[in-house]
Amino acid sequence: METTHRLVFLVIIAIFFITYLANAQDQQGFISIDCGMPHNESSYTEESTGINYSSDANFIRTGKRARIKNEDPEYGMEYIKPYKRLRYFPVGTRNCYNLTVSEGRHYIIRAVFIYGNYDGLEQRPKFDLHLGPNFWITINLQDEFRTLNRIWLEDGMVEEIIHMPKSNNLDICLVKTGTTTPFISALELRPLRDDAYTTKTGSLKVFFRWYFSSTDSIFGTETIVRYPDDVHDRIWAAEFDDAWTEINVTTPVNSTNAFELPQAIFSKASIPTDAGESWRRGWPMQNQDDIQLYLHFAEIQALTPNDTREFSILWDEKTIISDNYNPPEFMADTVPIRTSTKCDEVCYLELVRADSSTLPPSINAMEVFEVLQLPQSETDENDVIAFKNIQATYRLQKTSWQGDPCVPIYYMWTGLNCSINTFPSIPPRIISIDFSHYGLIGTISSDIQYLNQLEKLDLSNNNLTGRVPEFLAKMKLLTVINLSGNNLSGSIPQSLLNMQKNGLTLLVQGNPNLCVDPSCESEAGDGNNKMKLLLPIVASAASVGVITAVLLLIILFFRKKRQSKAIRPSMVANKRRFTYEEVTKLTNNFERTLGQGGFGLVYHGNLNGNEQVAVKVLSQSSPQGYKEFKAEVDLLLRVHHINLVSLVGYCDEGQHLVLIYEYMSNGNLKQHLSGECSSSPLSWENRLRIAAETAQGLEYLHIGCKPPMIHRDIKSMNILLDNHFQAKLGDFGLSRSFPVGSETHVSTNVAGSPGYLDPEYYRTNWLTEKSDVFSFGVVLLEIITSQPVIDQTREKSHIGKWVGFKLTNGDIKNIVDPSMNGDYDSSSLWKALELAMSCVSPSSSGRPNMSQVANELQECLLSENSRKGGRRDVDSKSSLEQNTSFGPEHIPDAR
């Protein structure tokens, strides 16, 4: 009976969860940019589509904003809010948006251009659009036939391509080619399933996307189907012909194939009016060498046993693509066609009825693409990262430094020279830097050494100080180094002087404090001896001050201890501030990589030769920045808990931002759940313990800190495991303080990881501690199922909706990770599953708080250990009673 009650409870939660969460999670991975939106304006949800748009503040630094004057087009798509504003670029030849994407994933990339006489000149512009270093298309609003066979806009264009980025960065560039000014209204990126629009080579430029419906108005907005009907926000235009008849149905069609077309498309189909004729459609498409089509079919009529619908698919009147094709009943099917045969002015698709068929051919929708080859590789990624680090170090800003640094060659960044290979598939390399008279201040950047193809380096006539670095001698391809006209000091490394014998040209004149004679070192040594005589005197004086300070600290410590026995001395003194040079040494010049996160690469390090550490270095391409770095340092300098990862130290030196943590030898929880680790699968006991320990760390943030903290990025990747598999929560860069008092939420821009993001927070921008509870619930479902959070091949892509779907169908067995082989206490597993589903309740009011979560998980763990004979002692106390310490100014309230 108890099991039945539990099942009913879970089913009710699952149904509510699926209904509520479906729309909130559909926009996972969407990038929707209103290019004319003021940078200080909050993101908004566009009413007609439900799509959340934000400003382009984080993606571009040039251009000006404007609003169109003609907001009511006579024909075409209604100008929704993001299409009424724009950004235009009166300065510079190439202006680029830089977007963070997922390498190797297919995206719809859509650029919208609505002129609307925004400048009052009534002069429609013409310019080029580039995708990375490759030409995409010419935006020619002067061409009256520009929209033929595309989405019809009276005063603009919509250009779309399906493209797979080869790195985690994507540049979309507007290039001025004449006298008119480039502009853009909106940029929209939509992730797709990788098994849908596949090509052996090239990207797919949309020519048209039609569904066949006899809607009255061929230009009316009611003919457009897009999000939320289409989960990938493809834009479908209705198309019909006098020779066709529409058939429609209300019975749902199973559309779960890779293309995931909406029901609005499959509910209608066209057939030839004359049942004895073939279905035929032509369109002008001249001089296209490579065309790809996708034909979408479903049998939407209930056929009798004597009915058959069979037909052949012909391309360009002569090529048979498929013979005796049968659309599956009430099920989506897609037939791809790729051809390199040029059409004779007009391309034709024809569906020819088979002799044995009792019914005429039918078709629901079709998409036609031009296969666009994008042959030019981007500049070597390591070169780009190194150069951007150098740029950041010296705070160099140049309008022309946008897009790819090396290609196309006529837009190469000033101050650079690159090797451009005859074969465009080979990435260009940076071979020369000329920063003469650039106003550089500081030391010579250590990032220069990572440009390992560098042949010439000119840093002359700046204000550089410090020593000439040893690493320059290790750059074997350097033939010219010009350091003249600076304020460098010390001596030139002997290894660099030796390179002159092998042909290196080394120019150092004009540095009055720089010595080229080896005797400088001995003179410097004499000076050091004099300093040694002073050290005992200084040390004696300093020791008096140290003793006094220590006595004061002891007095303060015992006074504070009387106030609260639970509080230990602040650990702030144990946190070191490292120089970048020290970081380089302790990582052995960043030799061993442990992994990569949103912040950047994580390296292995050794502190004092015996303490292993993890060193996280901010990448210049990371969406996180100094704000997140400072937030993490500030939090970890003042709080400590056994289930929060400890900060050993940090580096904040110019653009070098580094966090140094205790080393967690067993990686992160996601690696163990996904099977990345070679160790045996986690037992249910260990899974529960990891969940309970994580909950205790999170509970401490919520109610043990003053002010309370919200993590905002709870996910299995951020749960780290030490050599005893003790769980510690990490990555606090997105954490926010929570108000104490009458306020119930923080209003903030949405941040978090796809799949783990609280849908209520996503909709409202209201952040509460229950947002962390939702994310933790997703992690708990991962722990129970070992399923990925997002999987487009499942019946339901999101893990919460998938578990809910399984529960509503009574499929309990296939929820639990089979690698546990049934070795678990069913009572504790049921309780954990109930807890997880309540945590991911769509409404925050229906979720427990973290204290309740932590206590229930401890009970689950007690139950599991009891089954195994009490093998492990479990402390069921709240985490606030465990070992914690804080900065003295952040004492937790007694709760």
Please measure the distance between the N-terminal and C-terminal CA atoms of the chain and give it in whole angstroms: 37
Q: Domain limits at 398?
A: 382-519
Q: For residues 339 and 466, state if they share a domain.
A: no
Last residue within a domain, chosen from 617, 645, 662: 662
Residue 647 domain-assigned (yes or no): yes
Angle 771-776-779 (CA atoms, 0-180°, nearest 5)? 140
157 near 115, Cβ under 8 Å? no
Got the DSSP string for 37-97? S-TTSPPEE-TTT--EEB-STTT----EEEE-S--S-SSBS---GGGSEEEE--S-SEEEE
Q: For residues 104 and 134, state if they share a domain.
A: yes
Model confidence at 521, pLDDT cuts 50, 70, 90, reads low
Query: Encoding tokens for residue 10?
Result: 């879970």
Q: For residues 723 and 857, state if they share a domain.
A: yes
Provide the 8-state DSSP code for 446. G
Interval 302-309 mean pLDDT = 93
CATH (domain of 635): 3.30.200.20
| Calpha distance 757→753 (Å, rounded) | 6
Residue 890 domain-assigned (yes or no): no
Specify the pLDDT at position 893: 31
Amino acid at 894: A
| Calpha distance 498→482 (Å, rounded) | 16
Most confident of 548-552, 556-560, 606-610, 857-861: 857-861
850 near 771, Cβ under 8 Å? no
Whether the per-residue pLDDT at 559 is higher than 50: the answer is no
Give 322 or 353, the one with higher predicted confidence. 353
CATH (domain of 337): 2.60.120
Residue 886 domain-assigned (yes or no): no
Whether the per-residue pLDDT at 200 is higher than 70: the answer is yes
Query: Encoding tokens for residue 23?
Result: 């729309």
Task: Write 588-596 long-range contacts (CB < 8 A, 24+).
Answer: 590/615, 590/617, 595/667, 595/668
Residue 528 domain-assigned (yes or no): no
Specify the pLDDT at position 15: 53
Residue 269 domain-assigned (yes or no): yes
- φ/ψ bin of 84: left (φ > 0), alpha (ψ from -120 to 50), beta (otherwise): alpha
Whole-number mean pLDDT of the chain? 83
Q: For residues 510 and 419, state if they share a domain.
A: yes
Report how far apart, in Å, the C-alpha atoms of 355 and of each of 235, 298, 359, 530, 815 are: 36, 20, 10, 106, 49
Query: Encoding tokens for residue 759?
Result: 């849908």
Q: For residues 513 and 434, state if they share a domain.
A: yes
| Calpha distance 708→699 (Å, rounded) | 10
Q: For residues 399 and 447, state if they share a domain.
A: yes
Provide the 8-state DSSP code for 700. I
Whether the per-residue pLDDT at 570 is higher than 80: the answer is no
Give 234 or 199, the one with higher predicted confidence. 234
Instruction: Dump pLDDT digits (tens) for 41-52.
Output: 889 999 989 999
Residue 24 domain-assigned (yes or no): no
Residue 879 domain-assigned (yes or no): no
**pTM as predicted:** 0.60
149 near 283, Cβ under 8 Å? yes
Cβ count within 10 A of residue 335: 16
3-class SS shares of the chain: helix, strand, coil, % to 5: 25, 25, 45
CA-based nearest residue to 841, from 106, 19, 253, 216: 19
Q: For 597-713, where are the E strands, in sequence order?
A: 600-607, 611-618, 639-641, 647-653, 656-662, 709-710
Instruction: Return the active site residues.
Output: 713
Specify the pLDDT at position 748: 65
Q: For residues 333 and 417, state if they share a domain.
A: no
Q: For residues 694 and 712, state if they share a domain.
A: yes
Specify the pLDDT at position 826: 85
319-330 CB burial, b ≥16 within 10 A, e <16: eebeeebebeeb
Specify the pLDDT at position 571: 31
Instruction: Dump pLDDT digits (tens) for 401-431.
Output: 999 999 999 999 999 999 988 788 899 999 9
Whether the per-residue pLDDT at 129 is higher than 50: the answer is yes
**Binding-site residues:** 616
CATH (domain of 484): 3.80.10.10
Last residue within a domain, chosen from 642, 662, 682: 662
Specify the pLDDT at position 471: 93
Residue 21 domain-assigned (yes or no): no
Specify the pLDDT at position 77: 47
Specify the pLDDT at position 188: 97
Q: For residues 641 and 686, state if they share a domain.
A: no
Domains contained in the chain, number: 5
Q: For residues 642 and 498, state if they share a domain.
A: no
Q: For residues 848 and 831, state if they share a domain.
A: yes
Instruction: Dump pLDDT digits (tens) for 654-713.
Output: 778 888 888 888 889 998 998 877 678 899 999 999 999 999 999 988 888 777 888 888
Q: The sheet that has 183-184: what strands, in order across it?
A: 64-67, 85-88, 183-184
Give 57 or 752, the one with higher predicted confidence. 57
Q: For residues 642 and 673, state if they share a domain.
A: no
Instruction: Dump pLDDT digits (tens) for 56-88.
Output: 998 999 999 999 987 655 444 457 889 999 999
Give 21 or 579, the one with higher predicted confidence. 579
Model confidence at 376, pLDDT cuts 50, 70, 90, reads very high
Model confidence at 505, pLDDT cuts 50, 70, 90, reads very high
Model confidence at 173, pLDDT cuts 50, 70, 90, reads very high
Last residue within a domain, chosen from 502, 519, 536: 519
CATH (domain of 838): 1.10.510.10
**Binding-site residues for ATP:** 616
